[in-house]
Every structure is written in structure tokens, then in C-alpha cells.
Chains A and B, each alone.
Chain A
Amino acid sequence: MSKKVVVLGEAREGALRNVSFEAIAAAKKVAGGGEIVGLLFGDAVQSLGEEMIKYGADRVITVEHPHLKHYTSDGFGQAFMAVYEQEKPEAIVFGHTALGKDLSPKIASKLDSGLVSDVTAIEGEGDDAVYIRPIYSGKAFEKVKNKEGLLFISVRPNNIAPLEKDDSRSGDVSSVSVDITNLRSVISEVVRKSTEGVDLSEAKVVVAGGRGVKSAEGFAPLEELANLLGGAVGASRGACDADYCDYSLQIGQTGKVVTPDLYIAAGISGAIQHMAGMSNSKVIVAINKDPEANIFKVADYGIVGDLFEVIPMMIEEIKKIKTN
């Protein structure tokens, strides 16, 4: 049976996050031929609707309100429930982002439904679909089925490939007016600590440093390499604990879980705590002076050497390729 699916798109600094397109691709599988309705909430999101359609949504509904400028669970919850009542979908797909993690359990609880969080792959389609998600910090996986009723999943960024953008697609972008009231949380300040541009959890390339980076200044070559590759810089807990960088960069069991196409671990020994956050990356490169370092066990390619020699050489080599 085909399902009507709603997908919550997510904007960041005026543009849709990639995970929104990945969620649409996931919704296609869930829908089994059913209609896909994109949702966008914010203070000015109407213009982003078309983009969701080009990536596979059939139509888009927006809710715009000054109180939706910043995400709050009450504000977005009210917007979602208003659209839900209007559309009565059979399935819901969110991104498993900070927003999705915060909002999805509230909505699931309101709707008395199950919720399969942090899905990294979908097998089968429609009613037969099985959802794969990592457990035990990525050391094992489980296959989960929804027993009955409303299906609700959130998808981990960077795992389900988006559909190819099709500029010829068109569809209706309509808006619903919702009175957003009684917000119990008021956001008084937002401090952006993340490095400019590329979001660590969505980055296709991550260059991460550990204790071997030795100082805050030691991250400079890593940043240069990351910028060159259009990626983001990350760090091990050791580097954060030693104050070489902000905890917002930490990758691991505590910290962020990343699954980029390329993960470069520089001066990271490979403690289990760290591996939990990156071991599912597609290609792993390890650079470490210690040939016995654990990180070499999960690395696809390893160089035993000083990162301060290796990384600048890598930058030069990659520049040569890029200019050719």
C-alpha cells in the first residue's frame, strides 16, 4: 500500500540543509509510490519550497510566523500539528539533526506513535520497509519494523543519498497560517561556535586532530587541508580536554557521530571512545607517529609519520591535482 509522507525540511542560514534532500529520498522509499509533501517552518521559508520539489517532493506546505524564526519545540510543534491535522499523512520523515532529535519524540508522543530514530539505511519499500540503525555507538546495527499505525522515522545525515536534482519538476508551494502562541522557551541568545561554512555532521570530508596536534595553533594545517577539500575540522576528546579546540568539534561516543566519505585522523591514537564517532566513515586515513596506534586498525590507508610533515605535503599534492 502506498503511503502519503510528510518530510520536514530544515533551513540553515537561508538555505536548505542537505539532510532535507536525503529525507525526501528516504520518504520516496517509505511512500511506495505515495505522495510526498515537504514542510518548511520559519519566518521566511516560502522561497525554499521549490528546491524541495526539485529534489523529489510533490508539493510543499510552508508555515511562516515571526515566532518560528528560531526553533522551539512548542513553536515547531504547533506548526507541525496544524499541518498534520490538515494533511493526515501515513508517514513522517525528519532529519536526525539537533532539531529533529528535539522535536520528533514530542510529535511521536503527541500522536501516540512509534519512532525509529537515526536511520542510516532502508531495505524494501512501503509497508515492507525495514529500517536499519546503528546501536551501541555504531558497534552493531539493528533492523527495526514499525508494527502498525503511523510510521515515523528520522534519518542520520550523510547516509541516504539524495535523489538527483531535477530542475524540470514543478509542484504547488502553499502556505498555511498558524497562530503560534504560548512558547514556554524563549531563546535570548545564539552563539555560533561552529567553524564557518561546512557543518561537521554533514561534511563529506572531515580532518580530525588529536593530542598529537599539540596546541590550538597546531590545528592550522588541518584547517587548511579541510578548506581545500571543502570539509570540516573535527577533534578527539583528548584534543578538546587539552583545550586545543572547542568541544563543539569533538567526535566520539560523547560528541558528534560523523560518517563522511573521507575521514583523515591526524595525531589521533584511536581510543574506543573516538572510534564510536567515526568508524562508519567510508574511507579512513590515519596519520600517526606511533605505528602501534589503534587507529591503524580501522584505517583504509595509513602513514606512520609526523602530521606536521605529512599534512603540508598532502596539501601540496592535492593542490597539484586540483589545478590539473
Chain B
Amino acid sequence: MNIYALVKRTFDTEERIAVSNGKIVEDGAEFIINPYDEYAIEEAIQVRDEHGGEVTVITIGDEEAEKQLRTALAMGADKAVLINTEDDLDEMDEFTAAKIIAEYLKDKNADLILAGNVAIDGGSGQVGPRVAELLAINYVTTITNLEIDGTSVKIIRDVEGDSETIETSLPLLVTAQQGLNEPRYPSLPGIMKAKKKPLEELELDDLDLDEDDVEAKTETIEVYLPPQKAAGRVLEGDLSDQVKELVDLLNKEAKVL
């Protein structure tokens, strides 16, 4: 089976976020594989181990993203592709990313493409379904279980807490929800092997794309931090008085009851 996993290098949002000149300060920050993409990589590896074939991980970014691709290879992916846009693009949006990935995938005859259902930095969750649409294949988002039998696919997806069982077929793109699996940590032998696995680097030129073809449709004009919340009030006194005071405050001051 020909399996692809879409990976994004993201800022670890457990980090403190600072803004300078309208941009998030990235110096010294920790970068990780988007956690939802880890579920996608893990599932890709498990599907390959059960059904045979090859897992290729793809990302768009600059050379720094090689680190996250090597981590995916160390988990067990077979090959990696870095589409390096550093020299070509200053700005990209979801349209841009999907167009580039779809252009790469269009002649690859992918049976199964997996992605995270959302990236924890941008948080729009658009790229997976956009790629599927551009490739004219079906997609199912926020999946928590995947069973493949020949070309038949049975999926359970999370719909705001409810679960839907879906029957469909390959080729297919799915996006991973938490609960799909437990992503493995790369083993030491895995890390050693990953160094020798193929990592292909491409630029827009190699995909016959011009900057104009992928020009962003939207533009971010400002990034800012939410206003600092004033420190809250921790109530004092006898517990039952505290509760009375709290309910009174919620009723009269906050007016939320």
C-alpha cells in the first residue's frame, strides 16, 4: 500500500508565547511535530505493518523541518519529502500549503493519505480536506479508528463527542483525532536507522509551480497577545461564607447566573 502522512513542524504551544513586531518570537523556542500529526504517522506505520507497502512523510517548510522529518523516520516511516519554500515564499496560507502538497501527490497514486485534524499553531484544520478535494479523492476527518480490508475502509469518527461509523473505500484521505492510537517514541535503533533513510528535498520549481500559482488568498495583518487578565480574587473566610459570597458575585458582579 502506498501511504503518505502530512506533517507540520509546529511551535510547542506549551511554551510561553511572545510577540515582537507583529510576529511570534521563535528564537529559542522548542519545535515539535504537530501532536495530531503524530497520530497520523503512527497510524500510517501500523497500516503499513499490517498491509505492507511504504510510508512517506511530507512536510513544507525550511531546512529546520528536517529534524521533525527525521523524527518521523525514526518512528518508522520509510521515506521523507521536504518541500522547501524558504527561497520562494514569504507568506503562505492554507490554500498555498494544500496546493503545493496536492501538486506533489497528484501523480503518486496514493492509496491512503493521513494528516492531523488540526495543527496546534494555526488551528484552521483546512489542509487535509483541501488536499483531498484537489486530488478528487474522498476524505474523512477527526477519525478515532481505522480498519482496512482490501479497498474497503471502515472508520469511526468523532463528531463533537458523538461517534459516527463510516464505510468508504480507498483511495482516501483521513485526519487523525486524539484517541486514534498511542504514538510511539522513536527507539534508539530507530534513530540510528533514520539517519540513513532517504530524505528528498524539493523546491516549487521541481513541482512546476510558480509563486503566483500558490499565492496566499488571505493575509495576516497583525498578531497580538490577549490582554493580560487581572489577577482573580481568591475568597477567604469560612467555607460556607465563601460560597455565599461567590454565588453573590456571580449573580450581581459577573451577572452570569
Q: Which residues of A contact B (CB under 8 A)?
A: 70, 73-74, 97-98, 101-102, 104-106, 108-110, 112-118, 130, 133-149, 184-194, 199-201, 205, 229, 246-250, 253-256, 261-262, 272-273, 276, 280, 282-286, 291, 296-305, 309-310, 313-314, 317-318, 321
Residues of A within 8 A of B254 (CB): 262, 283, 300-301
Interface size on B, residues (CB 8 A): 75
Specify the chain A residue showing the minimal Cβ separation from B172. Answer: A184
Residues on B with C-beta less than 8 A from A184 are 138, 168-169
Which residues from B are CB-within-8-Å of A309? Answer: 239
Shortest distance in angstroms between A207's beta carbon and chain B's nearest beta carbon?
A: 12
Note all chain B residues with C-beta closer than 8 A to A250.
178
Q: Choose from B132, B166, B179, B226 the contact partner of A187 (Cβ within 8 Å).
A: B166
User: Roughly how many angstroms separate A190 CA and B162 CA in the complex, as a whole number?
Assistant: 7
Q: Is B224 part of the contact surface with A, judged by Cβ < 8 Å?
A: yes
Partner of B257, one of A130, A134, A321: A321
Q: Is B24 an interface residue (CB 8 A)?
A: yes
Residues of B within 8 A of A253 (CB): 13, 35, 120
Query: A304 vs B247: C-alpha distance in the bound complex, in angstroms?
Result: 15
- Within 8 Å CB of B148, what residues of A? none
A-B contact pairs, 21 of them (CB 8 A): A73-B138, A102-B142, A106-B133, A109-B98, A113-B217, A139-B226, A140-B19, A190-B162, A193-B161, A193-B162, A199-B160, A205-B256, A253-B13, A256-B160, A272-B14, A276-B13, A283-B256, A296-B234, A302-B233, A303-B235, A303-B242
Return the contact of B234 from the options A110, A145, A291 (Cβ within 8 A): A291
For chains A and B in complex, what number of residue pairs have CB atoms within 8 angstroms? 250
A201 nearest CB neighbor, chain B only: B160
Residues of chain A within 8 A of B257, CB atoms compared:
229, 262, 318, 321
Shortest Cβ distance from residue B168 to the other chain A in the assembled complex, whole angstroms? 5
Give Cα distance in the complex from A116 to B219, angstroms. 10
Interface of B is mostly: mixed
Q: Which residues of B contact A (CB under 8 A)?
A: 11, 13-14, 17, 19, 24, 35-36, 93-95, 98, 120-130, 132-134, 138-142, 158-169, 178-179, 216-226, 229, 231-235, 239-240, 242-244, 246-247, 249-251, 254, 256-257
Q: Are B246 and A280 in contact, with the CB atoms below 8 A? A: no
Please tell me if the beta carbons of B218 and A146 are within 8 angstroms of each other in the complex. yes
Contact residues in A for B222 (Cβ distance below 8 Å): 142-143
3 closest Cβ contacts across the A-B interface?
A: A114-B217, A248-B161, A117-B124
